[in-house]
Structure 1
Amino acid sequence: MQLSTIHVKVSGVTDNIRHIRRAKDYTQAYMAQHLDISQTTYSNIESGSVALTLDRFLAIAQILDVDTKELLAVPMPENNFPAVDQSFED
């Protein structure tokens, strides 16, 4: 199996890509042009309709000028842990 055929299947990755792309004010057409694919194909990548290959994932990170860890990051919900009673009695 070639490295380029491994698919990135991490929940939220395409949401992170979309969020960062929009924050940088990049259009889908801009991303597609730099990836040498159609805008429709790029849109399908962001929507999850088309598998995101590792090669494309790495290229997207490079275009967005972010570390791949940033694209893989899963936001931590607030109050993720139960409250801890910090009152100790001796």
Structure 2
Amino acid sequence: MIKVDLLAIGQRIQNQRLALGYTQQYVYEKLDISQNHYSRIENGHVGMSFEILLQLSEILELSTDYILIGNPAPTDNIELLNNYKLLTPKQQKYIDDHMKLFINSNLK
């Protein structure tokens, strides 16, 4: 059974916010919640709704899995997906075609 560690959740949120150079004010205004409520989340005093969790995930560019339990692997996928979205359709097709070639090859 996984234990919810609000203090660790708050620390992960705060660390990423600081890494991105965001102020608490920037984040709580984006979330449309009070400064006090956001501060209590970061300090591990309260949990959050699913809606806030999903919004935080988007704002802080973190997976919900990482926010909740600290599993860092999915964040790499988010960055990769965000970079893919920046490509033109022609570039995306090029990547897709080459990925299919690698998947179907015997290189392992």
* Coarse TM-score class (shorter-chain normalised): 0.5 to 0.7
Aligned to 2:26: 30
Q: Decide whether the 8 Å contact of 2:24 with 2:35 is kept in 1.
A: yes
**Percent identity (aligned):** 37
Number of aligned positions between the proteins: 67
The answer on 1:61 being equivalent to 2:54 is: no
Q: Deviations over 1:36-84 (max 9, x none)?
A: 0121211011112232222211111111112222223168xxxxxxxxx
Aligned to 2:11: 15
Aligned partner of residue 17 in structure 2, secondary structure: helix
Q: Deviations over 1:4-39 (max 9, x none)?
A: xxxxx7221111111111111111100100000121
- Superposition TM-score, scaled by structure 2 size: 0.54
**Which residue among 19, 34, 39 is the counterpart of 2:35?**
39
Once structures 1 and 2 are overlaid, which stretch shifts more, 45-54 or 60-69? 45-54
Aligned counterparts of 1:42 and 1:15: Cα–Cα separation in 2: 12
Structure 1 segments of 4 or more deviating over 2 A?
A: 48-51
- Superposition TM-score, scaled by structure 1 size: 0.63
Q: Decide whether the 8 Å contact of 2:65 with 2:71 is kept in 1.
A: no
Larger relative contact order, structure 1 or 2 (CA cutoff 8 Å, min sep 6): 1
Aligned counterparts of 1:57 and 1:27: Cα–Cα separation in 2: 18
